[in-house]
Structure 1
Amino acid sequence: MNQEQFVALEKVINKDYSNIAGIVVLKDGQTLYEHYFNGCSDTSRIHVYSVTKSIVSLLIGIALDKGCIKSLDQKVLSFFPDYLVKKGERTIQKITLENLMTMTAPYKYKHVVPYVKYFTSDDSVTFTLDLLGGRGQIGKFRYTPLIGPDILSGILVKSTGQSVFDFATENVFSPLGITVKSNVTFHSKEEQFAFNKAKDISGWVADSTGVNTGGWGLTLSAMDMAKIGQLYLDGGMWNGKQIVSVKWINESIKEHSRWEKLNLSYGYLWWLIDEKEHACAAMGDGGNVIYFNTQKKIIISIASTFVKNAKDRLELIKEHIEPIFED
């Protein structure tokens, strides 16, 4: 490592990845690189989009460890006994928690995703349950960026007796020293657009019933994300305390399904990047990433403000960041 390598890296970032807010690199428990861009700092909190899913995966694991959830084989509707299934709908009754965790649950919407109705819904969990099932095949991979993961938030609320925010604060955020200040609720689309672009809002989006979003809506700093990566690299251990079981970590980052179209392996809401090196990633829109490589004992987190069609961060990591820190 030398200053020339960092200068070259930052030149690439400014040229091709200009929406990056911050990058942190940890190796062997040490911070080897921490740099911020676009007027951001270590106190900036960025909407990390689908990285939220991987945090929800962690929370599901903790709920299983605590016995709040019995098994991923539990039927989704077992958590919602008051939900009324429409006549003739059988598929939804067979869908399990495992299907939600592996993106192998079918939904009724196809090409036209009802985003407007979703964002204006007062109860995201019921809205999503109404779309679960249909004529699709259970077990076939179908990535659902926004509409789908909120059911997992509903399951956490039902099973733990706490809000997702409170459960996460008690079991992850506080122990790891991660700052997520409060729930964030929107009263207009303008507020939501402002949130997506903000660098100084700390919180987790929730609907009017108080249920936090499962597939998006969490704000984190680059260092916050790096801490999550370190937790996974260390088998769920943090400062001598087992935050989540090694068993869950291992299950989370092995292949359970695959997106054939993109040839990407999927664990429990984590992407599996390199089987040989045991490299995995949480990836969010705009170029937000928590990447950890078990073999190389390295964590790379990237926080990014939103732009459409952001350039592939894994390419940046594999070609420009990771090689700098190889022994």
Structure 2
Amino acid sequence: MNQEKVAALEKKINHDYGNIAGIVILKDGTTCYEHYFNECTPDSRIHVYSVTKSIVSLLIGIAMDKGYIKSIDQKVLDFFPDYTVRRRERTIQQVTLRHLLTMTAPYKYKLFTPYIKYFTSDNSVQFTLDLLGGRGEIGNFRYTPLIGPDILSGILVKATGQSVLEFATENVFSPMGITVERNVIFHNKKEQLAFNQAKHISGWVADQAGINTAGWGLSLSPVDMAKIGLLYLNNGKWGDTQVVSTSWIEESTREHSRWKKVNLPYGYLWWIVDDKEHACAAMGDGGNVIYFNKKNRIVVSIASFFKPRVKDRIELIKEHIEPIFS
């Protein structure tokens, strides 16, 4: 490792990527770089925003492996038999887990996303189910940052009989030495804003009904994030334990849909960065990233505090990190 190049990298990060909290880089499963910024430490836990989605994808795969979910082509409403479908509302009845995982489910809201109502709702799953369907066409890519993925949390709870955090702790976090201490429930907007900038809150946001969020709300350390990347790099295996099936890793990290506006292929809540190198990423607001590249046998995790319109982290990885550490 060229120390001059590393020093130049850190100078660039401090100048152009000033909201980064920490970076961990693994090569062939070994830590070759770990550094923290903005007064963060290895004990810091940062809200990773939409990286949460990719963790939920992992949990869906484990639920499939264990037989809790029979198929991702199951209808969403199969898991909510008591849900009352409104008259003439047929689209929602055709939506499957696959549509949720690939961001190809339609929703009733269009130009104005009802974030205030969502954040003040006592039951985010019920709230989101009421918005699912409408006149949109099933199969068209529509990225839903917050309102949409929570249905997957509801499905996990219905299928496993556990909370999402309990299921994740038993099957992923504890076996892999990842720390997520508790549910985080907000009582007001001030608490939510504080969580977004916090360094030492270890948890997973849940609504008043105790359902963990699926599109955002998980806090992790850069080391914990890198462990998830390594799990995917090693085809679902952690040490001698097969945490999730290799088939799920392969299936969930190949292209199933595409965001044509930015020409980005999408798997099951994972972005496909380079199909030839089998490079994929979990990406969240502010520049939170778990990146793995199977060809180069490298994992990069970047935890960042929220800041609007940040510079592209994938560009940082491809142009400034991989050339040094690959």
TM over 0.5: yes
1:18-37 aligned at under 5 Å gives the runs: 18-37=18-37
1:83-94 aligned at under 5 Å gives the runs: 83-94=83-94
Tell me the equivalent position of 1:135: 135
What are the Cα deviations for residues 94-121 of structure 1, in whole angstroms up to 9, with x where unaligned?
A: 0001000000000000010000000000
Q: Partners of 1:93 and 1:139 in 2: how far apart?
A: 14
Q: Partners of 1:310 and 1:157 in 2: how far apart?
A: 35
Tell me the secondary structure at the aligned position of residue 40 of structure 2: coil
Tell me the equivalent position of 2:48: 48
Q: Partners of 1:60 and 1:273 in 2: how far apart?
A: 22
The letter of the residue matching 1:254 is R
Q: Partners of 1:13 and 1:149 in 2: how far apart?
A: 32
Query: Would you say 1:264 and 2:303 are equivalent positions?
Result: no
What are the Cα deviations for residues 68-115 of structure 1, in whole angstroms up to 9, with x where unaligned?
A: 000001000000000000111000000001000000000000010000
Tell me the secondary structure at the aligned position of residue 265 of structure 1: strand
Q: Partners of 1:301 and 1:92 in 2: how far apart?
A: 36
Q: Partners of 1:113 and 1:72 in 2: how far apart?
A: 27
Q: Partners of 1:198 and 1:216 in 2: how far apart?
A: 15
Tell me the secondary structure at the aligned position of residue 104 of structure 1: coil
Tell me the secondary structure at the aligned position of residue 183 of structure 2: strand
Tell me the secondary structure at the aligned position of residue 168 of structure 2: helix
TM-score normalized with structure 2 length: 1.00
Tell me the equivalent position of 2:196: 196
Tell me the equivalent position of 1:99: 99
Runs of 4+ aligned residues of structure 1 deviating over 4 Å after TM superposition are: none
The letter of the residue matching 1:249 is I
Alignment size in residue pairs: 326
The letter of the residue matching 1:210 is G
Tell me the equivalent position of 1:213: 213
Q: Partners of 1:76 and 1:262 in 2: how far apart?
A: 28
Q: Partners of 1:138 and 1:287 in 2: how far apart?
A: 30
Of all paired residues, the percent bearing the same amino acid is 74
What are the Cα deviations for residues 123-144 of structure 1, in whole angstroms up to 9, with x where unaligned?
A: 0000000000000000000000
How many angstroms does 1:3 deviate by?
1.3
Q: Partners of 1:151 and 1:244 in 2: how far apart?
A: 21
Q: Partners of 1:261 and 1:275 in 2: how far apart?
A: 19
1:164-243 aligned at under 5 Å gives the runs: 164-243=164-243
How many angstroms does 1:30 deviate by?
0.6
Query: Would you say 1:155 and 2:158 are equivalent positions?
Result: no
What are the Cα deviations for residues 43-78 of structure 1, in whole angstroms up to 9, with x where unaligned?
A: 000000000000000000000000000000100000
Alignment gaps of 5+ in structure 1: none
Q: Partners of 1:214 and 1:162 in 2: how far apart?
A: 15
1:234-313 aligned at under 5 Å gives the runs: 234-313=234-313
TM-score normalized with structure 1 length: 0.99
How many angstroms does 1:2 deviate by?
1.8
Tell me the secondary structure at the aligned position of residue 172 of structure 1: helix
Tell me the secondary structure at the aligned position of residue 273 of structure 2: strand
Alignment gaps of 5+ in structure 2: none
Q: Partners of 1:210 and 1:324 in 2: how far apart?
A: 44
How many angstroms does 1:201 deviate by?
0.4
Q: Partners of 2:22 and 2:325 in 1: how far apart?
A: 17
Tell me the equivalent position of 2:314: 314
What are the Cα deviations for residues 219-255 of structure 1, in whole angstroms up to 9, with x where unaligned?
A: 0000000000000000000011000000000001010
How many angstroms does 1:6 deviate by?
1.0
How many angstroms does 1:22 deviate by?
0.3
